[in-house]
Amino acid sequence: MRTMFGHAAAALALGLALSAQAQDFNWRKHEGKTITFLVNNNPIGNALVKLKPEFEKLTGINVKTDGYQEQQMRQRLVTVMNARSDEVDVFMSLPSREGLQFAKTGWYADLNDFIKGAVATDYDFKGLSAGMVADATYDGKVMGLPLNIEGPVVYYRKDLLQKCGVAVPKTLAELDVAVAKLKTCDANVTPFVSRGLKAAAPFTFSVFLHNYGGSYMKDRKSQLCSPAGQAALGEYSKLLKDYGPPGVVNYSFPQISSLYREGRAVMAFESSNELRNVMDGGARLNDTGIMPLPAGPAGSKPTVIGWTLSVSAYSKNKEAAWYFLQWATSRAVEEKMALEGIAPPRASVADDPDFKKWIDELPVRREWIAALNTLGQTGTSEVGYPIVANPASREPIGQAINELILGQKTVAQACAEADAKLNALIAKE
């Protein structure tokens, strides 16, 4: 559990001694060097790339960006790391997904010595979310610094709900009633959309699983076929099958944000990070509400995760790369990223006058920040199985969801097949 703007006072027991070293810090120490940044072309990565000329001007370090969509970025990283290549110096990582796996394979450089040594005078390491730093810490080694806090939220059209006489649903049972009414009211607009793409679906499905009182694993056994697991699989797939857009099995955040932004969906359950993309062009600025997923039988148990910036263990420019991490996770940069709709992992950013003004300008932004606070206070980072093979564990989950959306299997058949594959993965560890 973590609080979005909490944990400011909490400090990890790392024995940090920063002030003396900070007095001698020189931003120009690595002037003329070039580092390569493997970046995910999501809102966080795009915001950093947009700001990188400021870093280059400050340090004289040239940042070469190597950008891909999420799946392709990871494929590129695996290729580079398996070759023990120094082609990548800095990369974006998602600890809730690949953290344990990458730590075990030794791909992250340990940041402890940098945190205790080469630190800028105004860099406040303890100001970062202690929970997010802990998520990126393995066996006492800090493997990355947090860039954001995020989780799935429901973007919904207030005007279309009102037009169709549908109240904002407070429970999943009410959501079922709402989407049925919306489909009858206007057949030209998709009532509900979320992720159907196999590799991406566990991010949003996990909230359904937890809201039904389920978990992925118990006593080293997969739990998709538990009563809660089957109920969650049935509910999620039914919403996408009966009320989602054609081809939803190929949908992840780019398609979902586009569909909603263009006015072709009433409700979109997607990452809080997508606020800027959803609002791009301004058409949805005044008609959108934002909330966590309605509660299930077990209440509201949202997902909250965050991306980190990490240094490759094979980089030959680790200290120059560390300078980039410091800059990217500083309060000054996170204040600018917050104005791009990137929820900051620093409590202090919440007090920034420009950020407060930006939030207060529009109701949708106030609802966005309120939803994120709820996620931070009550959320869990469990997405997929808490094992080294977490990335591989997501494939059978997504496969089961796909089979149900396409009507190829019953819930019992789909979860049994998935549990068999997942138990085999668990048994290997």
Q: What are residue 296's DSSP bridge partners?
A: 299
Percent share of the chain, pLDDT over 90: 87
Q: Is the pLDDT of residue 216 over 70?
A: yes
- Sorting pLDDT into bands at 50, 70 and 90, what band is 377? confident
- Domain ranges for the chain: 19-149+305-351, 152-303+373-427
Give the residue from 378, 370, 345, 282 showing the smallest Cα distance to 133: 345
Q: What is the mean pLDDT of the chain?
A: 92
20 pLDDT more than 70: no
Give CA–CA dist 303/323, Å, rounded.
31
When the candidates are 3.40.50.12780, 3.40.50.360, 3.60.15.10, 3.40.190.10, the CATH number that belongs to 152-303+373-427 is: 3.40.190.10
Query: What pLDDT was estimated at residue 5?
Result: 36
Nearest-CA neighbor of 137 among 108, 180, 173, 174?
108
Integer-rounded Cα Rg, in Å, for the chain is 22
The token pair at 22 is 């900070």
Is the distance from CB of 55 to CB of 61 less than 8 angstroms?
yes
* Closest listed residue to residue 312, CA positions, set 46, 78, 60, 138: 78
Q: What share of the chain is helix, strand, coil (3-state, %, to 5)?
A: 50, 15, 35
59-106 pLDDT tens trace: 999 999 999 999 899 999 999 999 999 999 999 999 999 999 999 999
pTM for this prediction: 0.87
Q: How confident is the model at residue 130 (pLDDT cuts 50, 70, 90)?
A: confident
Specify the pLDDT at position 19. Answer: 43
Question: Which of these CATH numbers, 2.40.50.100, 3.40.190.10, 3.40.50.1100, 3.90.1110.10, describes 19-149+305-351?
Answer: 3.40.190.10
Strand 308-311 relative to strand 137-138, pairing:
unpaired
pLDDT, tens digit, 9 for 90 and up, residues 244-259: 999 999 999 999 999 9
189 pLDDT exceeds 50?
A: yes
Same fold, 19-149+305-351 and 152-303+373-427: yes
pLDDT digits (tens, 9 = 90+) for 191-204: 999 999 999 999 99
Q: How far apart are CA 10 and CA 4, in angstroms?
A: 13
Which tokens in the block code for residue 239? 């919403």
Residue 171 pLDDT exceeds 70: yes
CB of 405 closer than 8 Å to CB of 234: no
117: confidence class by pLDDT, cuts 50, 70, 90? confident
CB–CB of 371/290 below 8 Å?
Answer: yes
Predicted local distance difference test score (pLDDT) of residue 351: 87
pLDDT beyond 50 at 3: no
Of residues 167 and 10, more confidently modeled: 167
**For tokens 């989780």, what's the residue?**
151
The residue among 109 and 18 whose pLDDT is bigger is 109
Residue 23: predicted pLDDT: 53
- Cβ burial of 74 (10 Å; 0-12, 13-18, 19+) is buried
pLDDT at 18: 42
Percent of the chain exceeding pLDDT 70 equals: 95
Judged against a pLDDT cut of 90, whether residue 371 lies above it is answered with yes
Question: What is the pLDDT averaged over residues 285-303?
Answer: 97
